[in-house]
Structure 1
């Protein structure tokens, strides 16, 4: 990065730091709950054979978006985008995991979201460790398709959040990503999906194998819901519920045929639910228990999260603020 750009960056950070110290106590905590490889396949989105009471409860207290999507349909490219607020093609991160072993820094002036939040007074975390009694861990997944040499997060322990407010934290969940957690999901829930009753897209062959596979996807969604319920309970038990914005989302669409890795709707469309805390004045667009048909992308969540934190996003950021007085016109 040229010297002038570094100077500009650090001047911005210094300004944010001074501003953050004075208003940090008034700012909300922000928690992103990120599912992997998951479409809006929840009971609150009217999906048959899936029972997700905890996420449904979050939707009843928040806003459920019906037209939310990621900008790319696979993990590393999508995560590179929503962590920076930039399109993957702009930052050269559009070929999946193509820069794991190479030197591919972010372009001049582009930073990850935590680089903007930290100097504004936010503690940042990608949670792996939960308190005793919680029977799971967060994955701590990053999977970015660029080289990052700094410290992306301050910590990874849930126990540190209460004493480090305001915080921006992520919890990443593996259930709906094909693998070990997916394979055992039916053992983690009380009521499993009935393969004979699932409803899947007409492009899928109606075969017992297909039905069983789709049913297991829904079982994984229900296993995910159980963990979400535990985390929502932790927020309430620890007095964090009333000042924490909770966002439930996915890194891209479902890991099914015509889904993950394909730029069809099923590969790009994601669930997005935002619950606003009572202790923080809500934007005019927020009303509990409502739905929004606004077209929102995951990179817009980056810019909007910064706005919630009182941080002006860089003018070059391609994500747009979608709520509040600084909101851009709706995407078309």
Structure 2
């Protein structure tokens, strides 16, 4: 009996350990985090019938597509900093391309750093934090492959001189001739390396396209007819304040783009064609990574996240590039494919934010953390059609040069999005007063602002009253998301 009791006790301990190991294994999924630079939702699974994106569309079939996801500030470093810290721009103090968040928050724990501290192998390749030496964060990674490797241009005429050359390039070369093909190769090596370890992994892969210049191998340009492209809705929204706009300074820095005035229609077509070619080029690299997961037998144990850091203008609303509070700049693609979730293969219209990604992955992997500004999207992964009554906030500085030094900012535009509406208030930072107001009716995902209707009707005044209250809470740091 004593022997039987000992055997039963031993078996019981073994069973408990097995259950704990099983539970731990279910919680501690691997993470493959795909970050795409300047990608707006011009993707097949978002309804864009021109876009050739078979691999991203395949990923969408495995996960949940967030049709209404919004970044916190539509330029690279502030947006990426918010997502990676789980904090909003006013909390990180990062509103430009120069400030490192650790100057303001030396003890902040980033998303990959949190996973690293919980036993994950964390690695990055390509552009994850902003692509400058002063804005990297080595403490976040077990292994970091330099984001500065790879070619922007391959044609000799574009590789002479310093700085920006042509805004587009088409070359009949292999994928690896440009940066993103090399990034994919390095990521494949990291996946194989991580797959041989006992620890779960968090691998972040930062693709640099479709950020300008629009350079991609010829085969991706050949997927499209240039005649299919042209600027649509190029008029500014009626009644919008001048603060809402800029002079396309980012695009005008390229050698073949006019320093002022309109862009010739033929060049507009070329630019948009190049943007789509770059999307398809990145899509192919994502397909390579998904295939490698299958080859390694890791698909069923790996959560894949696809996120664009902000949207983009392609001539609409008298704008090119990003750096506004308009829908085209702040709405981003977000797909989360978490194995076993009931909502996989569906889409949700819920309003969500980039700051929600950090707590979502924490919950999916069983490693919670307090003090984040977003909330977990896991309920939407289980039930995409559920009620979700949260606004989405964005903001931007003016004048435009303040994105290089936010100390030069004279105004901050705070914007809130709820179903059907966008409201933006521009604050004079010196006077602490509202300098301009915007209110737009937006009925469907993918709409853009056409008329500023502040004060135009009883309905608009009622909407503005509600939204201005939210903006005031947000600006004063009083708004907090709370999971229902």
Asked if TM exceeds 0.5, the reply is yes
Q: Distance in 2 between matches of 1:147 and 1:46?
A: 35
Show the counterpart of 1:59.
60
1:274 aligned to 2:336?
yes
State the shift of 1:319 in Å. 1.4
SS at match of 1:89: helix
Bigger RCO of structures 1 and 2 (CA < 8 A, at least 6 apart) = 1
Q: State the TM-score, normalizing by the size of structure 1.
A: 0.78
Which segment is superposed worse, 81-90 or 193-202?
193-202
1:35 aligns with 2:36: yes
CA separation in 2, counterparts of 1:330 and 1:265? 19
Report the structure number with the largest CA radius of gyration: 2
Q: Which residue of 2 aligns with 1:143?
A: 130
1:25 aligns with 2:25: yes
1:118-267 to 2 correspondence within 5 Å?
Answer: 118-127=116-125, 139-143=126-130, 151-156=139-144, 157-164=190-197, 165-179=199-213, 182-183=214-215, 185-189=216-220, 191-198=222-229, 200-203=231-234, 207-254=265-312, 256=314, 257-267=319-329
Corresponding residue for 2:346? Answer: 290
Secondary structure of the corresponding residue to residue 375 of structure 2:
coil
How far apart, in 2, do the equivalents of 1:230 and 1:86 lie? 32
Work out whether residues 244 and 276 of structure 1, in 8 Å CA contact, stay in contact via their aligned partners in 2.
yes
TM-score calculated relative to the size of structure 2: 0.55
* More strand by percentage: 2
The total of aligned residue pairs comes to 289
Equivalent pair of 2:39/2:311 in contact (CA under 8 Å): yes
- Please tell me whether the aligned partners of residues 88 and 355 of structure 2 are also in contact (alpha carbons under 8 angstroms): yes
Alpha-carbon shift at residue 61 of structure 1 (Å): 1.9
Superimposed CA distance per residue, residues 260-304 of structure 1 (whole angstroms, 9 cap, x where no aligned partner): 1122111111111121224xxx3xxx4232110011111101111
Q: Which residue of 2 aligns with 1:306?
A: 362
Indicate the structure with greater helix content.
2
Structure 2 match to 1:90: 91
Judge conservation of contact 2:351–2:388 (CA < 8 Å) in 1. no
Give the superposed CA RMSD. Answer: 2.9
Query: How far apart in 2 are the matches of 1:49 and 1:147?
Result: 36
Q: Find the aligned partners of 1:155 and 1:98 in 2 and give their Cα distance.
A: 24
